[in-house]
């Protein structure tokens, strides 16, 4: 049974998805997370129309990198194809977290990259965190090459923002990708609050 074989990966996905739901980084049934199955061209990914607090062995499936279901039943998240495109081309991606966290998304509305507002962010985000404008609620295929080429050329980049949509982080495992998602949100929040503080100091 695949759910027993990958019980540790499933547990880590359940834990991190529930955590981001509790933090209100992903409300409703959007967002997505996935992990690469080591040594295979397969990933474990959330089904479509499943909320982060509902992620469990029953709401995850195994697909190939083109979204074809290999284990479990149901349809993968609409955003699974972007995850697959990243796994195909970016070996350092072992797990991907995508959520619509409010401050990071708000920041992307008006900037072309994340400002590292804390020393911690500069330490953990090893390279530029760009904003991509993909004009849709789920990243259309025609934007995949732009995103994967950027990630391939900037091997320090472990996250990016989607204007009008949300944030994506990648790491060796889902726990680390989730830490980056939290840091992305915190960094954007501090940037926005810092701008307000600077404005009040200059009054
Ligand atoms: Zn999304």
Would you write out the chain's pLDDT as a tens digit for each of its 203 residues?
A: 999 999 999 999 999 999 999 999 999 999 999 999 999 999 999 999 999 999 999 999 999 999 999 999 999 999 999 999 999 999 999 999 999 999 999 999 999 999 898 888 888 888 899 999 998 888 999 999 999 999 999 998 999 999 999 999 999 999 999 999 999 999 999 999 998 898 888 87
Q: Which of 68, 9, 1, 14 is nearest to 41 (CA)?
A: 68
CA of 163 to the centre of ligand 1 (A): 11
CA of 199 to the centre of ligand 1 (A): 32
Q: CA-CA distance, 64 to 72, in Å (whole number)?
A: 12
CA of 26 to the centre of ligand 1 (A): 9
CA of 65 to the centre of ligand 1 (A): 18
CATH domain 2-201 topology: L-fuculose-1-phosphate Aldolase (3.40.225)
Q: CA-CA distance, 60 to 3, in Å (whole number)?
A: 9
Q: Considering the entire predicted model, what is its pTM?
A: 0.96
CA of 203 to the centre of ligand 1 (A): 38
């Amino acid at each position: 049974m695949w759910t027993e074989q990958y019980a540790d990966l499933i547990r880590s996905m359940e834990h991190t998805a529930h955590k981001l739901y509790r933090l209100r980084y992903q409300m409703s049934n959007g967002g997505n997370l996935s992990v690469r199955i080591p040594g295979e061209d397969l990933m474990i990914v959330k089904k479509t129309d499943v909320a982060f607090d509902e992620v469990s062995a029953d709401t995850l499936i195994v697909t190939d990198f083109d979204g074809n279901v290999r284990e479990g039943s149901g349809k993968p998240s609409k955003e699974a194809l972007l995850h697959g495109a990243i796994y195909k081309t970016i070996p350092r991606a072992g797990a991907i977290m995508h959520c619509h966290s409010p401050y990071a998304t708000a920041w992307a509305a008006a900037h072309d990259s994340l400002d590292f507002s804390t020393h911690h962010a500069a330490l953990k985000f090893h390279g530029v965190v760009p904003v991509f404008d993909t004009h849709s609620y789920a990243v259309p295929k025609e934007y995949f090459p732009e995103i994967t080429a950027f990630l391939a050329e900037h091997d320090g980049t472990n996250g990016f923002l989607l204007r009008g949509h949300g944030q994506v982080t990648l790491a060796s495992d889902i726990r680390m990708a989730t830490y980056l998602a939290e840091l992305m949100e915190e960094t954007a929040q501090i940037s926005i609050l810092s701008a307000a503080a600077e404005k009040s100091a200059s009054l």
